[in-house]
């Protein structure tokens, strides 16, 4: 699978209608699940190497529409990884203290340290998404944020972080089905939010906000990938493949032991 096909080219206009939501990569569900398991095993090894190597850090930014599958993606992709080396940071409505600071303040503290993978479940991009759609700050303020964000992420890269950004791209029809499924099943009621229905009314505004986000903040060093998300099994496979590719590219190595181990006999 060529993950590069799903990468947003810097400087190219983005038209989200041209990006599939229901891609299957030419695979059946069973084939995809088999490949996913292989990739998951590789991720386990690569994560251990990242941890042992201690010289790199990986930040994965996840954004999506409501019901887009952020939680499910995180659950599936981190399955089997060593919890000591992976953290998930979820960004909710800002607290009063967070709102009293600049919008990157709460984010920076959660970026990965050496050997760590951090997954952002929502992120600083909310400050050009929900904030833009609902005009939570005036346009002259949010409009400047694309540049701030590019600079902030470049800082992370310059200081040794690999940044990979995943936009889970869902169709409006699939969102309706997922909302309906949550409504129909009492065990899923906890996931149903009346607020999601209100947000659905703003579907087109969100699509436009996502479009501009992809266009203005996908760079060579900090690319966005558009993940077709209507099929959960394809979504999981593609995300796993992207993470494996990113970690492979780091040329990770187990560090040599500082001591001479050759003559040691365990008694």
Instruction: State the minimum distance, in angstroms, from the CB of residue 189 to ligand AMP.
Output: 14
Choose the stretch contacting Mg ion; rule: CB under 5 A; options: 65-73, 83-91, 128-136, 144-152. Answer: 65-73
Instruction: State the minimum distance, in angstroms, from the CB of residue 174 to ligand AMP.
Output: 17
Within 165-224, the residues that bind ligand AMP by CB under 6 A are none
DSSP codes, the chain: --GGGGBPPTTS---GGGS-SS--TT--HHHHHHHHHHHHHHHHHHHHHHHHH-S-EEEEEEEESTTSSHHHHHHHHTTTS-TTTEEEEE--SPPHHHHTS-TTHHHHTTS--TT-EEEEES-GGGGGTHHHHTTSS-HHHHTTHHHHHHHHHHHHHHTTEEEEEEEEE--HHHHHHHHHHHHH-GGGGGG--HHHHHHHTTHHHHHHHHHHHHHHH--SSS-EEEEE-SSHHHHHHHHHHHHHHHHHTT---PPPPSS--TT----
Residue 195 or 263: the one with the smaller Cβ distance to ligand AMP is 195
| 152 contacts ligand AMP (rule: CB under 6 A) | no
Instruction: State the minimum distance, in angstroms, from the CB of residue 77 to ligand AMP.
Output: 17
Choose the stretch contacting Mg ion; rule: CB under 5 A; options: 39-47, 59-67, 112-120, 253-261. Answer: 59-67
Query: Which of ligand AMP, Mg ion, none does residue 116 bind (CB under 5 to 8 Å by kind)?
Result: none
Instruction: State the minimum distance, in angstroms, from the CB of residue 103 to ligand AMP.
Output: 6
Within 81-110, the residues that bind ligand AMP by CB under 6 A are 91-94
| 130 contacts ligand AMP (rule: CB under 6 A) | yes
Q: Residue numbers of the site for ligand AMP (CB under 6 A)?
A: 91-94, 122, 126-127, 130-131, 136
């Amino acid at each position: 699978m060529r993950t590069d096909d799903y990468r947003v080219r810097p400087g190219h206009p983005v038209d989200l209608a041209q990006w599939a939501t229901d891609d299957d990569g030419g695979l059946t569900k069973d084939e995809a699940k088999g490949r996913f398991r292989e990739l998951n095993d590789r991720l386990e090894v690569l994560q251990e190497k990242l941890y042992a190597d201690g010289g790199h850090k990986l930040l994965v930014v996840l954004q999506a529409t409501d019901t887009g599958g952020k939680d499910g993606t995180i659950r599936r992709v981190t399955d089997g990884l060593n919890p000591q080396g992976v953290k998930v940071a979820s960004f909710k409505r800002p607290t009063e203290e967070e709102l009293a600071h600049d919008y990157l303040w709460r984010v920076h503290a959660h970026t990965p340290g050496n050997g760590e993978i951090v997954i952002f479940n929502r992120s600083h991009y909310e400050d050009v998404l929900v904030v833009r759609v609902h005009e939570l700050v005036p346009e002259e303020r949010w409009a400047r944020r694309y540049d701030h964000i590019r600079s902030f992420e470049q800082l992370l890269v310059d200081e040794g972080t690999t940044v990979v950004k995943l936009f889970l791209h869902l169709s409006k029809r699939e969102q309706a089905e997922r909302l309906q499924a949550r409504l129909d099943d009492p065990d899923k009621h906890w996931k149903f939010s009346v607020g999601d229905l209100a947000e659905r009314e703003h579907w087109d505004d969100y699509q436009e906000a996502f479009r501009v986000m992809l266009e203005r903040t996908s760079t060579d060093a900090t690319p966005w990938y558009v993940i077709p998300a209507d099929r959960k099994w394809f979504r999981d496979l593609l995300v796993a493949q992207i993470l494996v590719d990113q970690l492979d590219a780091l040329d990770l190595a187990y560090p040599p032991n500082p001591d001479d181990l050759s003559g040691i006999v365990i008694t």
